[in-house]
Amino acid sequence: MSMHRVAAPKRIRLLALALLAGVSAGPVFAQGTSVLPIADAKSRQAVERVIASAEAKGLPTQPLVAKAMEGVTKRATGERIRVAVDSLAKRLEQARALLAPSPSAAEIVSGADALAVSVPGPMLKKIRASWPKTQSVVMPLDVLTELVARGIEANKALEQITTLMARGATPAHIAGLGASVQSDVAAGLAPDAALEVRARGVMSLLPSPAAQAAGAPRGTKP
Amino acid sequence: MIRRAAPWLLALFVVANPAAAQAPSELRLEAGYARVRQREQAPDGSYRERDSDAGLVAAFWRRPFESWTFLASGNVTYGRDSIAAAQAVAAFSAPWSIDDRLRTEGGVAGARFSLASAGRGGNANAFARQHYLTDRGGTWLGAGVARTTRDSRYSHSTGADFGVWGRLGFLYGSGSYGWQQSSDRPLLTAAGQAVDPAARLYTLSDVELVVEARGGPNSLALSWASRRGISGDNASRVIAVSTSGILQVTERVAFTATAGRQLADPLRGLPQAELLTASLRVSFGEKPLPVMQRSAIASASVEPAPGGGGELVVRVFAADTMVVEVAGDFSNWQPVALHREGGLLVARVRLGPGKYRVAVRVNLGGWRAPRNLARVRDDFGGEAGILVIP
């Protein structure tokens, strides 16, 4: 009985620490101070090990901390949080390999999110191959994730996005495609139809393949 | 032939139960057991208390549209020593376009029953209620009419009620005054309210107080009611105290229980009785949600900002008792309370370009995606919406 009375304030302190940590929870954790307010000590330590392991592998850890915080906010059990964080760590590692040779942290996170909605791994490779290595594929990956989450077949969404990329679309064009589809779906259009119509619209803004072949400049890059 | 009231009584109780009527699921099935004590007429004409066992199966269907909601429910009950009873209710609830703090509800109900105390027959009734709602309280004014048949004799009932409610944190309280006039003599005789056998019309005057604690989908309510019955020159008084609770066991399954006295309700043909019920509620459908169907409430949009990024705006039509919060990776999953803007609850968050995950919860319940965002599973048995800001 007395143990319970002692444990409660401790949990409150941990939660307060986490709240104070706010968006900087990742760096604070990296410094070796546990601020994850997971009540179950065994699970908390397991999550910390997963995050430390990811950090040692050079993977971004902020999404892992955010996933743990999401689990806490959603009142998930410690074990469920551990499983979720572990799964995300594996997706991050897989995404890094698929987006090789040198994906940024943001690209790895976007790739992992795409894998989470069941985008096949080879599609990540295809998106990476569709743009110069120096150009970020974060936006194409994010829009692909959103379109697939809306129920659009991954093949169809990928085809539209890679076609646009091949035609010289910028990240802003790709983002605009996602926003337009979202607005059309909100207005009642089927996601598939919205994607087709909007992709055609974006395409009309891009230089023709003949102009590209003649060396016309591509769209502005961010 | 001895007739039993328990099934009909239980059927009515389930449909009339306010906590059950607020359940969020699109489709819900409920099965339970009840112990019912009521007055029934003996062969010599006297009345005596009788205990009955009964089981029930009930269905509740709720279909939210953009600006109004359709509700339908039906149930069949069967007592071990009685015949079956059935009831159906169809109702709507819609806000006014000029001011969504005004909300109108209305509906019709029909039933067939057999009551040991008050005859065999049926009831048809129509009801309407006008609400004025804010985020911390409200008032209502309602009215109803009914026609009831018992052993081929017709009776009519009319009624009106007025009430106020308020919220303080997780506690909800309400007080109401109701008035009914009825010629349903068998029902009121069984309840001990028709003390003047020569009277043709009976008047009931009710005061009711309810206190309810809510935490997400779980709730516990305590009700106290005092009724003054007038028949001719005579008057009687009866007090009813009851309690009811809902405990959400899993995302799909809830346990509900009630205990206490239920006053006779001439508008619905409901006899007075002592009740003890326990039932399991199972929710079906694509997304059985314990608190509020997400498609009914929240939407999210982005208003582009000069220089890139935008303002995420989450809007919730919540012109009632709801406390709504939004959270996401933008807030490190710390809940942010929505504030009232006119008839809506709104949250505005300035965000840079990127992809964000967003979820909304109502009354500390489950976290759900705003209705117009792409939805993804969240690894915790729930969901989140995703949003890409150019």
pLDDT of B380 strictly over 80: yes
Question: A76, B354: Cβ pair inside 8 Å?
Answer: no
CA distance A65 to A48: 9
Per-residue tokens: B210:
């309810």
Nearest-Cα distance to chain A for B247, in Å, is 16
CA distance B223 to B12: 17
Question: B302, A72: Cβ pair inside 8 Å?
Answer: no
For residues A206 and B84, the model is more confident at A206
Which residue in B has a C-alpha nearest to residue A184's C-alpha? B372
CA distance B100 to A12: 40
Nearest-Cα distance to chain A for B302, in Å, is 9
Question: A76, B381: Cβ pair inside 8 Å?
Answer: yes
Q: According to the model, what pLDDT value does residue B322 have?
A: 66
**HSE (side-chain half, CA atoms, 13 Å) at B67:** 11
Q: According to the model, what pLDDT value does residue A34 have?
A: 53
> How is domain B294-389 classified at the CATH fold level?
Immunoglobulin-like (2.60.40)
Q: According to the model, what pLDDT value does residue A70 have?
A: 93
Nearest-Cα distance to chain B for A150, in Å, is 5
Which of A43, A47, A70 should one mutate to test binding to chain B, selecting the residue with the greatest count of B CBs within 10 A? A70
For residue A73, the chain B residues in CB contact (below 8 A) are: 327, 333-335, 367
Residue B369's CB: how many other CB atoms inside 10 A? 26
pLDDT of B288 strictly over 70: no
For residues A146 and A15, the model is more confident at A146
Q: According to the model, what pLDDT value does residue A59 have?
A: 94
Contacts of B357 (CB under 8 A, 6+ apart): A70, B328, B329, B376, B378, B384, B385, B386, B387
Question: B355, A172: Cβ pair inside 8 Å?
Answer: no
Question: A179, B381: Cβ pair inside 8 Å?
Answer: no
Range with lowest mean pLDDT among A176-185, A188-197, B45-54, B80-89: B80-89
pLDDT of A21 strictly over 50: no
* Mean local confidence (pLDDT), A201-207: 65
Q: Among A24, A179, A100, A156, which residue's Cα sits nearest to residue B353? A: A179
CA distance B223 to B225: 7
Q: Among B225, B209, B217, which residue's Cα sits nearest to residue B170? A: B217
pLDDT of A111 strictly over 70: yes
Question: A139, B388: Cβ pair inside 8 Å?
Answer: yes
> Does residue B384 sit in helix, strand or coil?
strand
Band the pLDDT of B187: cuts 50, 70, 90. Answer: confident
Question: A175, B353: Cβ pair inside 8 Å?
Answer: yes
Residue B80's CB: how many other CB atoms inside 10 A? 11
Range with lowest mean pLDDT among A181-195, B98-112, B281-295, B351-365: B281-295
Nearest-Cα distance to chain B for A4, in Å, is 23
Residue from the list A106, A143, A185 with its beta carbon closest to the beta carbon of B388? A143
Question: A74, B378: Cβ pair inside 8 Å?
Answer: yes
For residue A149, the chain B residues in CB contact (below 8 A) are: 374-376, 386
Question: B379, A178: Cβ pair inside 8 Å?
Answer: no
ipTM tops the 0.90 cut: no
* Mean local confidence (pLDDT), A38-46: 88
pLDDT of B98 strictly over 80: no
pLDDT tens for each residue of A143-164: 999 989 888 888 888 888 888 8
Q: According to the model, what pLDDT value does residue B67 have?
A: 55
pLDDT tens for each residue of B27-79: 778 888 877 777 776 777 777 777 777 777 778 776 655 556 677 777 766 66
Per-residue tokens: A59:
């993977």
For residues B63 and A19, the model is more confident at B63
Which of B329, B331, B332 should one mutate to test binding to chain A, selecting the residue with the greatest count of A CBs within 10 A? B332
For residues B85 and A137, the model is more confident at A137
pLDDT tens for each residue of B335-351: 888 887 766 788 898 88
Q: According to the model, what pLDDT value does residue A125 have?
A: 93
* Mean local confidence (pLDDT), A92-103: 93
Question: B388, A66: Cβ pair inside 8 Å?
Answer: no
Which residue in B has a C-alpha nearest to residue A188's C-alpha? B372
Which residue in A has a C-alpha nearest to residue B365's C-alpha? A74
Contacts of A127 (CB under 8 A, 6+ apart): A137, A140, A141, A144, A158, A161, A162, A165
- B383 and B370 Cβ atoms separated by less than 8 Å: no
Mean pLDDT score of chain A: 76
pLDDT over 90, % of chain B: 18
Contacts of B211 (CB under 8 A, 6+ apart): B171, B172, B173, B221, B222
Which residue in B has a C-alpha nearest to residue A77's C-alpha? B380
Nearest-Cα distance to chain A for B106, in Å, is 29
CA distance B220 to B242: 11
pLDDT over 70, % of chain A: 70
Q: Among B175, B63, B382, B134, which residue's Cα sits nearest to residue A71? A: B382
Q: According to the model, what pLDDT value does residue B370 have?
A: 85
> Residue B15: in which H helix or E strand, if any?
helix B6-16
Q: According to the model, what pLDDT value does residue B223 have?
A: 95
pLDDT tens for each residue of B206-250: 999 999 987 666 789 999 999 998 776 677 888 999 999 988 787
Q: Among A208, A126, A207, A137, which residue's Cα sits nearest to residue A175? A: A137
CA distance A138 to A60: 14
User: How is chain A split into domains, by residue range?
Assistant: 1-98, 101-222
Band the pLDDT of B97: cuts 50, 70, 90. Answer: low
- B147 and B124 Cβ atoms separated by less than 8 Å: yes
Nearest-Cα distance to chain A for B137, in Å, is 28
pLDDT of A172 strictly over 50: yes
pLDDT of B177 strictly over 70: yes
pTM: 0.50
Most confident segment among B43-47, B88-92, B147-151: B147-151
Strand partners, B87: B75, B111
Q: What is the edge-to-edge ordering of all strands in the sheet holding B336-337? A: B336-337, B324-328, B354-362, B383-389, B374-377
The full DSSP string for B244-295 is EEEEE-SSSEEEEEEEEEE--BTTTTBPPEEEEEEEEEEEESS---SS--HH
Residue from the list A88, A116, A150 with its beta carbon closest to the beta carbon of B374? A150
CA distance B3 to B366: 45
Question: B334, A22: Cβ pair inside 8 Å?
Answer: yes
Question: B378, A70: Cβ pair inside 8 Å?
Answer: yes
Range with lowest mean pLDDT among A60-64, A72-76, A168-172: A168-172
Nearest-Cα distance to chain A for B231, in Å, is 56
For residues B199 and A5, the model is more confident at B199
- B56 and B29 Cβ atoms separated by less than 8 Å: no
For residue A19, the chain B residues in CB contact (below 8 A) are: 334
Mean pLDDT score of chain B: 77
Q: According to the model, what pLDDT value does residue B226 have?
A: 94
- B179 and B202 Cβ atoms separated by less than 8 Å: no
CA distance A90 to A63: 12
User: How is chain B split into domains, by residue range?
Assistant: 6-157+237-284, 294-389
For residues A193 and A72, the model is more confident at A72
Most confident segment among A41-45, B73-77, B163-167, B175-179: B175-179
Which of B286, B377, B379 should one mutate to test binding to chain A, selecting the residue with the greatest count of A CBs within 10 A? B379
